[in-house]
Amino acid sequence: MTSGKPPTLDARIERWPIEGGFTISRGAKTEAVVVVAEVRRGEAAGRGECVPYPRYGETPEATLAAILAMQDAIGRGLDRVALQAAMPPSAARNALDCALLDLEAKQSDQRIWDLLGRDAPRATVTAYTISLGPPETMAAATAKAARRRLLKIKLGGDGDGLRIAAVRKAAPDSELIVDANEAWTEANLEQNLAACAEAGVTLVEQPLPAGNDGRLAHIKRPIAVCADESVHDRASLPGLRERYDAVNIKLDKTGGLTEALAMADAAAAQGFDIMVGCMVATSLSMAPAMLLAQQARFVDLDGPLLLKRDRERGLRYDGSLVYPPDASLWG
């Protein structure tokens, strides 16, 4: 039942320690800094979580301010459809979009996939990330995770051939995908792709910097290449097909689940394989992405596994599988 009172909006910054640290080509961090939006109407409250990304000029403080600036609009009844035009695609819009979706589900006493006319999510295999480091360090970390069915390997440029060979030796039976985080160059691109192909890697994410990835259209790609930093929402899909075989859809880039679902449909129609990715964050960030996972070839929703602890009633992880969220968490 819907309360006659207008909805209210609150938001906060939270910090979640990472287990052992997390390193990619752009640097290392020891905690996940997230921003949580909460929209409340009567006794029902919807939550959404986002991760501001410095790569796109976002900070936790600016993201928090952007969310709170929508208080009056939310009080006047702004819904998630109108939200798409009221805010640009961003981490801030993601948190608010997901909070409104969660509230809608709780007020109707239905699961969000039923409300959206989507298939109910099922348990799916998620990647587990191995941080960038020296080959021997990465091999040791990989050996501990070698029973997982899908591993995502962070690479960083020079020496990546040695890194991926060491990883493959440590996990001979796992499917491997690689994320270069824009760290390769035109000079080492083909050499690194060949090394990955030799190691049986299935997919390489964003090998060249966004905006400087034209070379991908002029080489024979021995394995599939996935756009991450080069793709954000539906508007960024045109023109990518010659350079990329797949796109990584992340809710913080699309500005929420509403746009992400539309983007997944558009990407599939244009012939892209779909990858669903995440930042290091809690299960509240991963839960909405489980709806996307159902149409994805690659799922990378391991963020909570990299934390020292997850929030209460988090997603269930069992080996390589991640299970859909309980309504108490989201949706």
CATH code 3.30.390.10 region(s) in the chain: 8-112
- Choose, from 5, 154, 169, 308, the residue flagged as catalytic: 154
Would you call 154 a catalytic residue per the annotation? yes
Listed in order, strand segments (DSSP E) in 56-186 are: 124-125, 128-130, 150-154, 175-179
Q: How much of the chain, in percent, has pLDDT values that exceed 90?
A: 93
> Once rounded to an integer, what is the mean pLDDT over residues 312-326?
97
196 has a pLDDT exceeding 60 = yes
Residue 262 CA to residue 254 CA, distance in Å, equals: 10
For residue 262 the two structure tokens come to 């539309």
Residue 208 CA to residue 214 CA, distance in Å, equals: 9
What type of residue sits at position 132? Answer: L
The SS3 of residue 255 is: coil
Each residue's pLDDT tens digit, 211-223: 999 999 999 999 9
For residue 108 the two structure tokens come to 């109707």
* pLDDT level of residue 1 (50, 70, 90 thresholds): very low
Domain 124-322 is classified in which CATH homologous superfamily? Enolase-like C-terminal domain (3.20.20.120)
- What CATH number is given for 8-112 in this structure? 3.30.390.10
Q: Exposure of 264 by Cβ count < 10 A (0-12 exposed, 13-18 middle, 19+ buried)?
A: buried
- Report phi then psi at 206, rounded to 5: 35, 70
Each residue's pLDDT tens digit, 291-306: 999 999 999 999 999 9
Under 8 Å between Cβ of 261 and 253:
no
> Once rounded to an integer, what is the mean pLDDT over residues 148-156?
96
pLDDT of residue 2: 53
- Choose, from 29, 250, 253, 308, the residue flagged as catalytic: 250
24 has a pLDDT exceeding 80 = no
18 has a pLDDT exceeding 70 = yes
Token pair 């006319």 in the structure block, residue: 117
CATH code 3.20.20.120 region(s) in the chain: 124-322
> Once rounded to an integer, what is the mean pLDDT over residues 175-187?
96
27 has a pLDDT exceeding 90 = no
pLDDT of residue 25: 60
26 has a pLDDT exceeding 90 = no
For residue 226 the two structure tokens come to 């996935």
Each residue's pLDDT tens digit, 225-281: 999 999 999 999 998 999 999 999 999 999 999 999 999 999 999 999 999 999 999
DSSP string, 283-304: HHHHHHHHHHHTT-SEE---GG
Instruction: Name the residue among 173, 129, 184 with its Cα closest to residue 154.
Output: 129
Residue 155 CA to residue 167 CA, distance in Å, equals: 11
Residue predicted with more confidence, 23 or 311 = 311
pLDDT of residue 20: 80
What type of residue sits at position 93? Answer: R
